[in-house]
Amino acid sequence: MTIRVYITIFIISTVSVCLSAQQQQMYTQFMYNKMGLNAAYAGNETYLSGTLIYRDQWSGFPGAPKAQTFSVNLPRIANRIGIGFNIERQSLGITEKITYEMMYAYKFFLGDGTLSMGMNVSGRKFVQDYTDSRLFAIQDIQLDPSIPATQQTRNLLNAGFGVYFNTNKFYLGASLPRMIRTDLDFDANNLFSTEVRHLLLMTGGTFILNDDVRLTPQLMFRMAEFSPWNLDLNVSSTWKDKYSLGVTYRTGGNTGDLGESIDAIAGLQISERMMLGVAYDIPLSKLRTLDTGSLEVIMSYNLIPRKIKTIIVNPRYF
């Protein structure tokens, strides 16, 4: 098999991803990462909070997708203004994407609830590394002049919009994280692939079963241009506001599949300030013959000032 065949396979795979797959990073523990998905969530609390996420997807595949995220949600300003920052790195094969994002939100108080409207401005750096040692061919890859023997980079700007409404025990949000169809091609003379628009909807509610146990059903709906829609249906149980266990069913896969995956989620409120969550996706699609599953770990830290660390009579879960 010649180098051109290998490269052709690679290009076909890449084009398929660009044209038919969702470009927005998918997280199983979306309920702990709302600001990264919806700019209107910025400033949802009166204290500073930071979140770290690591995701290893399709770990059975060489060069499988990986993602790391660090976000900071600043304390609400003047009780109405929210500001947040997000840095995300994604890798897939020889491709790397780094996103820098700032969120702004404004709050309106409606009875027992809060309506937030927000926007985000983001910059992205795409890198394709053709010097990666994982690329191989029967003949020398440098003999083909159509394949650059360097790294290629491209920088993009985009913007998004979101709305988020929450009460003590219910939330509903919608967002368009990217509204501009920016050019993804490394060759400025071509317009073959673009960043597509994504629509994200999320909602959930908490039911108090007794003094120790609460039940929380939630869902996340994702839709992108030129791509099938996707739905996460989650239900979790929390004991003493410290230990939580949940399960998510994710739609998708190909015709005849039972879905994309079943995901197990476990969370631990280590202290008043720190939370740790772990998720493991068990594939249901035909990929299960090669895919050993996806692992996701999240840790959040809330810098709660002593003056507001009081006993909460009516806790707010969202």
Tokens of 166: 């929450």
Parallel, antiparallel, or unpaired for β 66-73 and 81-92? Answer: antiparallel
Strand-pair partners of 244: 238, 267
What is d(CA 53, CA 61) in angstroms, rounded to the nearest whole number?
Answer: 21
Does residue 315 lie within any of the structural domains?
no
Alpha helices, DSSP H, located in 52-125: none
Beta strands in the chain (DSSP E): 48-56, 66-73, 81-92, 95-110, 113-129, 151-166, 170-176, 198-205, 207-208, 213-224, 230-239, 243-250, 261-269, 274-283, 294-303
pLDDT at residue 138, rounded to an integer? 67
**Residues 6 or more apart in contact with residue 289 via CB below 8 angstroms:** none
Residue 316 maps to a domain: no
pLDDT the model gives residue 91 = 92
Distance, in Å, from the CA atom of 106 to the CA atom of 117, rounded to the nearest integer, reads 6
Q: Is residue 317 part of a domain?
A: no
Angstrom distances, CA of residue 260 to CA of 90, 177, 209, 280? 21, 23, 31, 13
Predicted confidence (pLDDT) per residue in 154-171, tens digit: 899 999 999 999 999 999
CATH number of the domain at 298, please.
2.40.160.40
Distance CA 174, CA 149 (A): 43
Q: Please tell me the predicted confidence (pLDDT) of residue 89.
A: 96
Predicted model pTM: 0.85
Asked, for residue 313, whether it belongs to a domain, the answer is no
Range of the domain at 24: 3-308
**Residue pLDDT, tens place only, 203-222:** 999 999 999 999 999 999 99
CA torsion, points 279, 224, 290, 130, in degrees to nearest 10? Answer: -110
Evaluate whether residue 280 is within a structural domain: yes
**Residue 227: inside a domain:** yes
Q: How many structural domains compose the chain?
A: 1
Q: Which residues of the chain have pLDDT under 50?
A: 1-21, 310-314
Q: Which of helix, strand or coil describes residue 65?
A: coil
Query: Tens digit of pLDDT for each residue in 187-200?
Result: 655 556 778 889 99
In a domain, 9, yes or no: yes
**Does 314 fall in a domain?**
no
